[in-house]
Structure 1
Amino acid sequence: MRHRPLGRSGLSTAPLVFGGNVFGWTADEATSHRLLDAFVDGGFNAIDTADVYSAWVPGHEGGESEGVIGRWLKASGKRDKVLILTKVAMWPKQPGLSAANIEAAVEGSLKRLQTDYIDLYQSHRDDADTPQDETLEAFDRLVRAGKVRAIGASNFSPERLASSLETSKAKGLARYETIQPKFNLVDRDQVEGAMTELTQAEGLGIIPFYGLAAGFLSGKYRTEDDFEGKARAATIRRDYWNDKGRAVLAALDEAAEAVGASQAQVALAWIMAHPAITAPLASATSVKQLDELMGAARLELPGEVWRRLDETGR
């Protein structure tokens, strides 16, 4: 499987990244470990998490996902086979991108992950209250100390990302090598346009989240009855249950039939073939579901199929 570079970091990823928000939440520890084994054994290598996962769950505090991954790393001995991506800034317990918070947060992440280094340490969101040079100097110290191999950003505007890159260049500091925005067949504004122009000009990788639009692009929401009892029903109904969303579903149905794949596989394969994208994130809570998602990385969409989907989603 051909790997793709994560910016100019020297790191590379298979064309699908495992989104670890489910670990210790909708996938218990034993299931999570089976998923991680299956993912790596399937030829994939990048696992994304964050210190805040899964603080939103009643009874959780945050750090659960990192803890599950850390115990898997210790038990499996597969640390040298994977890239560990985690994030700082959104955990209410340790918010923001001040130097003091980054320096404290990374120690907690390293301890929970049971590793000496993080491959890609990401700003989970922008922090307008902290000067960018303070943030980048803190990250640079971590890189120089060997605790972090490269840094990335998530949920940044093109303007703020550009400003941070200028600061890194001017001061000779580690720079963001990747960006994580929301992106799928229906939600495209955060990537296409200014962000694509910036990342291509600066050689950054894009590793987007929400590739299946909270499950909408898997094709399991077809009628009002399908929303009953679903955790993200309100979000999906608000953002995707409209004329455009239904048109995309119809195009996915046609494409899936044409190539003999599932709607979810086609939706992810479309992202993987997008010229601006490095690799999308996707999550699974069963090995069967994961096998389906991994199949997307081996699915080649004919040009006319890709273009039909592209035009419908605009």
Structure 2
Amino acid sequence: MQYRRLGTSGLQLSALSFGAWVTFGAQVGRSLARQLIAYAHERGVNFFDNAETYNNGEAERLMGDVLADLRLPRDSYCVSSKVMFGAVEHPLPTQRGLSRKHVVEACHQALERLRVDYLDLYLCHRPDPDTPIVETVAAMDMLVRQGKVLYWGTSEWSAAQIRQAHQAARLNHLTAPTMEQPQYNLLHRDRVEREYAPLYEEFGMGTTIWSPLASGLLSGKYLDGVPHDSRLAQSNYAWLRDNLLGQGDAMVKVRALSPIAERLGVSLAQLSLAWCLKNPRVSTVILGASKREQLEENFKALEVVGKLDADLMEAISAAVGQGA
């Protein structure tokens, strides 16, 4: 495993990490979750990503039970939660958002579900237009000072909102966000590569990227339809299926990438993950998996990164219709 600093902080995360979105509590039960987390940890993964809203808290509860059952040394891994959407089906106004009340209570609830004393990473899952950014920053600062959170950050905030958070922290002597968790893959590049570009140098921001395979599109498994055991086949993710497969040009781009992967003798998933890892602004790539075989294949992407020279990177960008 390779390790990278989370921005300019001193925290080093495994280049590949493991997340619970979609799978934990749905496709993945306790026995399989135990196998996946144990295997990932054995391979050097030291970051496990979660959120209050994943299966309404069940993903965190399942992960917490497994981490406790495996008795992994607490100093050998980092765990995250995210706050915004709440952990109940129809949340009341005080059960969601980024108010001081919900940020603090959601943290306490995540600690209980994950069965830990502190969160290594705590992220604002989306911006909250109903809460002043300075209030959210102050709530996060309080949790950091209490030792319940070590690093806090944002997920899918605009560069302008992230800059406002840093300004609020500076003016009020509060702890500033350390990282952003954006979607980043070969089909979704602009925010990480362009919009956030000034933030890396200006604030030392790290990125913990999600959906590196575009919810499976970049694995190639949807080229001939939707497999019955895939996440897109689940009725509660029909919105995701329609959103992804409704992008007509996406499948064209995936097909154009296939010959490049074949030429390298690697899978399309390994090529796509290695491409993400090639970006030095990526602190860690969050993997999702419902089978151990998927993790085994994805970990081999680490061996592909060094093979992606300038010519190959240019060919990959050409295949998806963007300049390198």
Q: Same fold (TM over 0.5)?
A: yes
Give the TM-score of the pair, scaled to structure 2: 0.88
1:238 aligns with 246
1:66 to 60, 70, 78: 60
Q: CA separation in 1, counterparts of 2:255 and 2:3?
A: 29
1:312 aligns with 319
Q: CA separation in 1, counterparts of 2:11 and 2:123?
A: 14
1:58 aligns with none
**After TM superposition, where is structure 1 displaced by more than 6 Å over at least 4 residues in a row?**
none
Q: CA separation in 2, counterparts of 1:219 and 1:148?
A: 38
**116-125 or 180-189: which moved more?**
180-189
* Aligned AA (2:319): T
2:201 aligns with 200
Question: For residues 29-108 of structure 1, what are the structure 2 equivalents within 5 Å?
Answer: 29-54=30-55, 62-78=56-72, 79-91=74-86, 93=91, 94-108=95-109
Per-residue Cα deviation, 1:259-312 (whole angstroms, up to 9, x for no partner) = 221100110110010233222212000111111112212322331222211233
Please tell me whether the aligned partners of residues 24 and 32 of structure 1 are also in contact (alpha carbons under 8 angstroms). no
Per-residue Cα deviation, 1:186-219 (whole angstroms, up to 9, x for no partner) = 1112212121222233111112212111111111
* Aligned AA (2:317): D
Q: Structure 1 residues 200, 17: closer, same or farther in 2, change over 3 A? A: farther
- 5+ residue gaps, structure 1: 55-61
Q: Structure 1 residues 228, 68: closer, same or farther in 2, change over 3 A? A: closer
Please tell me whether the aligned partners of residues 220 and 254 of structure 2 are also in contact (alpha carbons under 8 angstroms). no
* 2:285 is equivalent to residue 291 of structure 1: no
2:280 to 260, 275, 289: 275
How far did 1:245 drift? Answer: 4.0
2:237 aligns with none
Q: CA separation in 2, counterparts of 1:8 and 1:170?
A: 21
How far did 1:131 drift? Answer: 1.2
How far did 1:254 drift? Answer: 2.2
Identity of aligned residues (%): 32
Per-residue Cα deviation, 1:236-274 (whole angstroms, up to 9, x for no partner) = 2213x32x54134322x2222222211001101100102
2:2 aligns with 2
Please tell me whether the aligned partners of residues 186 and 245 of structure 1 are also in contact (alpha carbons under 8 angstroms). no
* Aligned AA (1:235): N
Give the TM-score of the pair, scaled to structure 1: 0.91
* Aligned AA (2:84): A
3-state DSSP of counterpart to 2:54: coil
Per-residue Cα deviation, 1:150-198 (whole angstroms, up to 9, x for no partner) = 1010010111111111111221111111101111101112212121222
Q: Structure 1 residues 98, 185: closer, same or farther in 2, change over 3 A? A: same
Please tell me whether the aligned partners of residues 14 and 45 of structure 1 are also in contact (alpha carbons under 8 angstroms). yes
Question: For residues 121-200 of structure 1, what are the structure 2 equivalents within 5 Å?
Answer: 121-200=122-201
* Aligned AA (2:143): L
Per-residue Cα deviation, 1:110-146 (whole angstroms, up to 9, x for no partner) = 0111110000000001012111111111111111111
RMSD (Å), alpha carbons = 1.6
- 5+ residue gaps, structure 2: 235-239
Per-residue Cα deviation, 1:25-80 (whole angstroms, up to 9, x for no partner) = 111111011100000001111110001111xxxxxxx1111111111121112122
* Aligned AA (2:75): D
Q: CA separation in 1, counterparts of 2:14 and 2:260?
A: 24
Count matched residues: 302
* Aligned AA (1:31): L
Please tell me whether the aligned partners of residues 217 and 249 of structure 1 are also in contact (alpha carbons under 8 angstroms). no
1:59 aligns with none
Q: CA separation in 1, counterparts of 2:26 and 2:8?
A: 33
How far did 1:100 drift? Answer: 0.8
3-state DSSP of counterpart to 1:192: helix
* 2:250 is equivalent to residue 249 of structure 1: no
